[in-house]
Chain A
Amino acid sequence: MASSSPSPAERFIAGILPENPIYRQLLGMCPTLAVTNSLKPALTMAAATAFVLLCANISISLIRPLLKPHLRILIFTLTIATFVTIADRVLAAYLYEMSKQLGPYVPLIIVNCIIISRCEACSSKQPLPHAVADAVGMGIGFALALSSLAFVRELLGMGSLFGYQVLPSSWPNWGILVLPPGAFLTLGVLLGAVNAWTARRKARVQSN
């Protein structure tokens, strides 16, 4: 993050926590809040988004010298829309039940700001290895954020993980966590926790 042109390794590490798309950049909030009421749809959404991010970053990085400034957003959107459509069809063919559960949120990956912002910030300016590292790092960061959210919401809201009952039936399921207000509440609490942890780590590093 220090140099003006981060190396692939720096891009990769940055995507996981220092520039985590959810907890640090606060991008792509819509699917984050919508599909994290349990772990299985959350991870499927993360996988679909990571696939699109990787393919889009590779494509844009390869055609990088041909991009015109006044047409680049159009080309980003065209590329992203194509890969999202492919991901949506593959899900409908091979994971039909999950595709129905995710519903309109898979096509909505097209407008997920994470992907277009990585195209703009990284893959339209840096060669292939950087773009791939960036996509993989951001994909892992996104998956970690989604699964941390879904872990809390499913465990406390339904007493289960991945559909398997984990907590004893005496646990009063906190139903609100499974509903939209719970998404906002959980995200707020986890965001505050990540901020507190980052601030404490920075203070400790500075005092050393």
Chain B
Amino acid sequence: MSTVSTISEPGNEIPAPVRKNLLVDAWLVLFLAIAFGAALAFVHAKLSPIIQANIRNETLSLVPVLVGSPEEYDVKELSHVTPSGESISFFHVTDKSDKGLGWVIPASSIGFADRIQILVGLDESASKIMGIRVVDQKETPGLGNLISDPAFRDQFEDAPTSEPLTIVKTDPAHSHQIRAVTGATISSVTVANAVNQAVMDLRSYLAADPS
């Protein structure tokens, strides 16, 4: 048990032999840090595939909901490299006779607390938004996390894609204005930005691949 004061003041500097002892004292901390780090890496390696599968299942179950819940449908997963060099993967929903029913694009953006992940459903011609779902967020409970509530996300239904959507704090005057969650402007703006990005990404795909 060390009884030497460890506060460094003029005339009270830690003498060299005791300084070395402090480093030696910390060997347990360093050893535990390495051991626990290895244990966490092992757990992550084992569980990461299962967690990714859970996320994917959740996404796939939301895809038909976001294009109007058709009774019979096929889902095709596509990928595309945007002009900015980003690689995105998204979904094209068709009915059994291969007629297009709509598109579902994942998008994300850094919100108030952490990254917010959403899915955007667009109609076949990409002219209007059919709906959004917030898939993952860590925003403040009671404030930012209300972006997941129908009251906020229902505003995106039938929103036009002719102009980027903007967030307003009062009643929306135009169909491309969305009212923010009270007290959670940053979270709301993040969702709108992610939606606009999703629309732009789909447009760049459709421009490159007219079929």
Contact = CB atoms under 8 A, between A and B. Distances in A.
Interface string A59-97: 000010011111100110011001001100110111010
Q: Which of A79, A86, A180 has the most B CB atoms < 10 Å from its CB?
A: A86
B29 A71 contact: yes
B43 interface: yes
Q: Is the interface of A mostly helix, strand, loop or mixed?
A: helix
Interface stretch (B11-19, B33-41, B96-104, B190-198): B33-41
Interface of A: 34, 63, 66-71, 74-75, 78-79, 82, 85-86, 89-90, 92-94, 96, 100, 103-104, 180
A184 B47 CA distance: 37
Contacts of B44: 89
Contact of B54 (A69, A86, A90, A92): A92
A98 to B, nearest CB: 11
B121 to A, nearest CB: 20
Q: What is the size category of the interface that chain B forms with chain A?
A: 20 to 34
B151 interface: no
B138 A90 contact: no
B43 A86 contact: yes
Contact of A66 (B28, B136, B141): B28
Closest 4 CB pairs of A and B: A96-B54, A82-B36, A93-B50, A93-B47
B94 to A, nearest CB: 28
Given A82-B39, A93-B47, A71 B32 contact: no
Q: Is the interface of B mostly helix, strand, loop or mixed?
A: helix
Contacts of A103: 138, 141, 145
Q: Which of A63, A67, A69, A93 has the most B CB atoms < 10 Å from its CB?
A: A93
B83 interface: no
Nearest to B136: A100
B26 interface: yes
B26 A71 contact: yes
A34 B141 CA distance: 10
A125 B30 CA distance: 22
B47 A75 contact: no
B25 interface: yes
